[in-house]
Amino acid sequence: MKSLALVVLLCLGCGLMSSSFVLASPHMWSKLILTQHWPSTFCSMEHCDPKFDYWTLHGLWPDKGQECNSSWHFNVTLIQDLLPDMQKWWPDLITPASSEFWQYEWQKHGTCAAKAESLNSQHKYFGKVLELYHMVDLDGVMKKFNIVPSEAYYTFDHIEGIILNFYNVKPKIQCIHPKGGKVQILGQIEICFNSDFQLANCEHSETDTLRLIDFLNVKGTEFSVCDHATPVYYPPLKGKPSM
């Protein structure tokens, strides 16, 4: 009888473990979204001073899960060696001297990315974001193919085609859509990776929208997927002539 009871307990334990795994598995991400924004577009809405004339980091987001561990607090001392690169390539456009933007990105997205062993510390996460940013070199690719800030307009298909042909994966390109609908303003570009950090297609709905308040606690408009038929304005840095 003792043996039978032991078997029953073991089976129950296995069942509980299986149930736990089934419940947890849908929350494990399968794709990472490297997101960069254009400072002139952002600051035209949020009244900040866009000192950067290159694409800066917004974040690296798993495709599943948000705020996965509220007790895992951000600690800037753990990434001291990364700070010079973070301040240059991943600045807080509204309060440059603050680390609140990085704290927000860690708590909302980094704690979820950390489900993977390769990203399971703050240093691994922020270091990998910087690594992927430099590997992709979106700003360099845009300039290489003469997609530069200009008072002249681009077609959406031209911008998307350059990125698609170079990386051989589909990006998600987002714009601001001023009232009137005659032009859209280039604002944000997402490039995706699989769990092995290999480039992958970004999937999206044509109605995908990202409110700026969702990531910087600011009141403003929103980025949404660019319209294929509307001319695209890629605004130069204020006070700097278009290229």
Active site residues: 58, 105, 109
The residue with tokens 């950390």 is: 114
What residue type is assigned to position 21 of the chain? F
Contact 116, 84 (CB under 8 A): no
Sign of CA dihedral 194, 199, 203, 208: positive
Q: Which of 39, 196, 52, 60 lies closest to 130 in space, CA to CA?
A: 60
The C-alpha atoms of residue 102 and residue 143 are separated, in whole angstroms, by: 27
Contact 157, 226 (CB under 8 A): no
Element (H, E) at 193: strand 184-194
Contact 153, 126 (CB under 8 A): no
The radius of gyration of the chain from alpha carbons, rounded to an integer in Å, stands at 21
Q: Which of 54, 131, 56, 129 lies closest to 94 in space, CA to CA?
A: 56
| Collapsed DSSP state (helix, strand, coil) of residue 83 | helix
Instruction: Give the distance, in angstroms, between the CA of residue 196 and the centroid of all CA atoms in the same chain.
Output: 17
